[in-house]
Structure 1
Amino acid sequence: MMAKQSEYPKKIISFDLQIKQLIERGLIINNPELAKDFLKNISYFRLQGYWWEFQNDKTNHEFKPDTTFENVIELYTFDRKLRLIIFDAIERIEVALRTKMIYYLSVEKDQWWFENKDVFFSESFFKDSLFEIDKELDRTKEIFIESHFKKYGKDSRPPAYKTLEVISFGCLSKLYSNLSNEIGAKNRIAKEFNLPNYNYLKSWLQSFNVIRNIIAHHSRLWNRNIHFAPKSLDKPTSEFITVPNNINSLYHSLSCIIYILNKVSNGHTIKGKLIRLFENNQKRYLTEMGFPENWKEQLLWK
């Protein structure tokens, strides 16, 4: 039986009481007014995900000795900068995927291939995808979609080169994953991402979409285990890493992202931005992300 809302034990407390509670738990707050300003703009609950790292006793919420509020904000800022860099990286991968799916599948089939159930493996997934596509077409305010419907009417969907530009990365990756294995473009696209076959690209896209969604919701990323891990690439065709024991680590996923970018975004500066971010912050942040001691010696990160 669900508890009544009135029985929920935790109540909202004032900013002053939030600060008082943190001090009583051992957090050093040298400037309470500045801390209050942060708590007014970054919620107590959101910051809790970061100061968890600094607590000795997580049941009683007691902080490790000499932990300051500034330590928590530094970690929060590190994570925010990390998310911004990775969002840029995934955007480039997403654009490359759209481009390749539009081109190769339209050439192999036709410009309305996404409406053809024979192109796909699962009919139920195909119907779900069409439902998502129609929602996006109905919701979008893109001029090129509105102009298409005005000129050609709404009895049929726009061709792939227009329609696929307005669907989400999640829908796009589902379309790819559900392509029939008989479709030649499925493997061709995977190889253009520097991967052996569609099984790898399907897995990697799923992982990247999980990370993208974490970032889109402004959620904590830095020490996450990615539950849909990218499929282990034991025989890469260019510089990569030794596959770590924990393939769910953020280190593994970030390495996979850089590996793909090296193929589809020539001259990108994402790796350099990440290395500078890592070098300017606490080493323990990297440990929590799964980075090994010798990460700089790995071919991908040199």
Structure 2
Amino acid sequence: MFSKNAFTIQEQIIQLQDRGLEIHNVSLAKKYLANISYYRLGEYWYVMQENKEEHIFKPNSKFKDVIALYNFDAELRLLLFGVIEKIEISLRTKLIYHLSHEIDPWWFCNSEISIDRLQFSRTLAKIEEEITRARSKDVTIKNHFKKHKDDLRFPPAWKSLEQVSFGNLSKLYGNLKHTINAKDLIAAEFGAVNHTYLPSWLQSIAQIRNFCAHHSRLWNRNLPGTVKLLSNPPNAWINDKENIPKQHEFSRLYVHICLMRYLLNTIQPNNNFSTQLNELFKKYPNVDPNALGMKPQWQEEPLWKQ
């Protein structure tokens, strides 16, 4: 039976010091712990412990380094969230445009163009929830239903899908039948050649987007899912074979940010993602890039060159 009582901030600090964590500015540490929970920070000091069961820290473990890791991770999430936003908007635009022309403006409601009917039903139910929420908040959706009271359908794709999450957009795309021309066309526009590769990229990015949106740790995290890599990408990629992530490394962030960069380069060729990421590592020199799976001299690869 769990029997521990809640600790005061002062007790938290004493416990950390007793376990070997160096805290040189106690008053500042109190301010951090008053605004960032003990267990949230614990995700960053866990690797500093040499005895994980007794929670004993390695020699020279410092509270200021914990905060540096925390701040690095927060800034990394903001950086990636901005990149993912551009990918999400581009995907939404391409889906709306190509499928509305190839099928009709209500293609996203058509189970006939889906591979998995059960997944289609689940995704459509979530889309309905998103549109229902928007009906009371979004002016475009509200006005559509007011103007077209007798039309019981969803608003057309160019209105409805603006309300749909990246996760559901990626599911819509991945579940399209391979005979739908737009599926390969969208993949080609993103530099993914055909429908074989892009769905796994979008799914992994959607998961990372959720981590960013919910302020969850990305540093030193094992990411769920996997991705399929092109053997011969048509656009700038990684030249050094040793720097191409292997399958056992797909749980680390590096391969996923490489794919984000690859997609972003098709959307905004003169982006500054590489510079921003490099500057972030320079700002926090104590952060170990290996915790993200970063490769040596990653910024020298064609993918990351400006």
TM range (shorter): over 0.9
Aligned to 1:3: none
Question: Offset at 1:163?
Answer: 0.3
Aligned to 2:171: 174
Matched-pair contact (CA < 8 Å) for 2:254–2:294: yes
1:1-302 equivalence runs, <5 A: 7-140=1-134, 141-153=137-149, 155-241=152-238, 242=241, 243-245=244-246, 246-282=249-285, 284-302=287-305
1:240-259, Cα deviation, whole Å (9 max, x unpaired): 12422213221111111101
Question: Offset at 1:173?
Answer: 0.6
SS in 2 for 1:185: helix
1:13-52, Cα deviation, whole Å (9 max, x unpaired): 1111000000000011111111111011000010000011
Matched-pair contact (CA < 8 Å) for 1:179–1:186: yes
SS in 1 for 2:50: strand
Query: What is the rounded CA distance, in whole Å, between the counterparts of 2:294 and 2:278 in structure 1?
Result: 12
1:83-110, Cα deviation, whole Å (9 max, x unpaired): 0000000110000000000000000011
Matched-pair contact (CA < 8 Å) for 2:22–2:60: yes
Matched-pair contact (CA < 8 Å) for 2:223–2:253: yes
Q: Which has the higher contact order (CA 8 A, sep 6+)?
A: 2
- After TM superposition, what 4+ stretches of structure 1 lie above 4 angstroms from structure 2? none
SS in 2 for 1:10: coil
**TM-score, normalised via structure 2 length:** 0.93
Question: Offset at 1:162?
Answer: 0.3
Question: Offset at 1:281?
Answer: 2.1
* Structure 1 residues 279 and 234: CA distance shift in structure 2, 3 A: farther
Greater mean deviation of Cα atoms: 283-292 or 63-72: 283-292
SS in 1 for 2:108: helix
Question: Offset at 1:54?
Answer: 1.5
Matched-pair contact (CA < 8 Å) for 1:79–1:221: yes
Q: What one-letter code is carried by the residue in structure 2 that aligns with 1:287?
A: N
Question: Offset at 1:293?
Answer: 2.1
Query: What is the rounded CA distance, in whole Å, between the counterparts of 1:213 and 1:10 in structure 2?
Result: 32
Matched-pair contact (CA < 8 Å) for 1:232–1:247: no
Query: What is the rounded CA distance, in whole Å, between the counterparts of 1:232 and 1:136 in structure 2?
Result: 32
Query: What is the rounded CA distance, in whole Å, between the counterparts of 1:300 and 1:172 in structure 2?
Result: 26
Matched-pair contact (CA < 8 Å) for 1:230–1:256: no
Matched-pair contact (CA < 8 Å) for 1:226–1:248: yes
Matched-pair contact (CA < 8 Å) for 2:21–2:57: yes
Q: What one-letter code is carried by the residue in structure 2 that aligns with 1:173?
A: S
**TM-score, normalised via structure 1 length:** 0.94
Matched residue count: 296
Query: What is the rounded CA distance, in whole Å, between the counterparts of 2:206 and 2:63 in structure 1?
Result: 33
SS in 2 for 1:56: strand
Question: Offset at 1:297?
Answer: 3.0
Matched-pair contact (CA < 8 Å) for 1:106–1:112: yes
**Structure 2: runs of 5 or more not aligned:** none
1:85-142, Cα deviation, whole Å (9 max, x unpaired): 0000011000000000000000001101111111111111111122111101111211
Question: Offset at 1:196?
Answer: 1.8
Aligned to 1:4: none
Query: What is the rounded CA distance, in whole Å, between the counterparts of 2:23 and 2:17 in structure 1?
Result: 7
SS in 1 for 2:154: coil
Q: What one-letter code is carried by the residue in structure 2 that aligns with 1:75?
A: L
Question: Offset at 1:283?
Answer: 5.9
Q: Percent identity?
A: 44
